[in-house]
Amino acid sequence: MIELNIVSIYRWEVQNMLVVAVIPAYNEGKTIGNVIKVVKEVDCIKDIIVVSDGSTDNTVEISKKMGAKVIELKKNLGKGGALKAGIEEADGEVILFLDADLVGLKKEHIIKLVKPVLDKEADMTVGIFNKGRIVTDIAQKIAPFLSGQRAVSKKVLDDISNLEVARYGVEIALTKYVENSNLIVKQIVLEDLTHIMKEEKLGLIKGFTARMKMYFDIIKYMLKSST
């Protein structure tokens, strides 16, 4: 009830603001349509940019059908490269990052993410899952800096020159830059939201392998950035 009131009260304040949603996607045809559908319901979203990171399924077709702008990367560049491509295309005051495999996304989640940045109360917000699924809730509570759900002031992103080299360490790159620049970050609890895990998408062995590669990229970036 409280979140519905937030939507109704805040709609008139943000409808003329410029927020661009950037959604990196690699073979997310099963979930990307619903994510776009929810984003389109939010008044303050000017554009939705889906960056297909070398997808070979129907991610591109579904995204176009849903009315999103689509950037098609022929080669898989990793999340950092995909986000960089989306940022370069976005012309909003605030950039909203969302994963393409979210389950349970509501427009109230999006408003909670973008409102503090639009109101100049934060330079970046980081969404943390809660009451979604135990396994994803725990993962984000242990490592909140890995969350892909964020709203960031465009001027902050314009100052980060090497975002694409982070690959799957992009969330850490964003968090580290903001912390080093003494900017304001707010954690936003996103109730009843979760995402599909790699092991569910690819099967246990392939999914685990993909997860280990992601962790390797993150560790590699962390070690490199600390030197």
CATH of the domain at 182: 3.90.550.10
Tell me, yes or no, whether 210 lies in a domain: no
Give the C-alpha distances (Å, rounded to integers) separating 184 from 6, 33, 125, 127, 176.
Answer: 22, 32, 9, 14, 12
pTM for the model stands at: 0.76
Tell me, yes or no, whether 203 lies in a domain: no
Per-position pLDDT tens, the chain of length 227: 444 444 444 443 444 558 999 999 999 999 999 999 999 999 899 999 999 999 999 999 999 999 999 999 999 888 888 998 999 899 889 999 999 999 999 999 999 999 999 999 999 999 988 864 444 445 555 455 567 899 999 888 887 766 655 555 677 777 778 778 888 999 999 998 887 765 556 556 665 565 556 656 655 655 555 55
Residue 144: which domain range? 2-197
Tell me, yes or no, whether 42 lies in a domain: yes
Tell me, yes or no, whether 157 lies in a domain: yes
- Cα distance between the two ends of the chain: 48
Tell me, yes or no, whether 222 lies in a domain: no
Tell me, yes or no, whether 185 lies in a domain: yes
Tell me, yes or no, whether 218 lies in a domain: no
Domains of the chain: total: 1
Give the integer Cα–Cα distance in Å for 70 and 99: 15
Tell me, yes or no, whether 206 lies in a domain: no
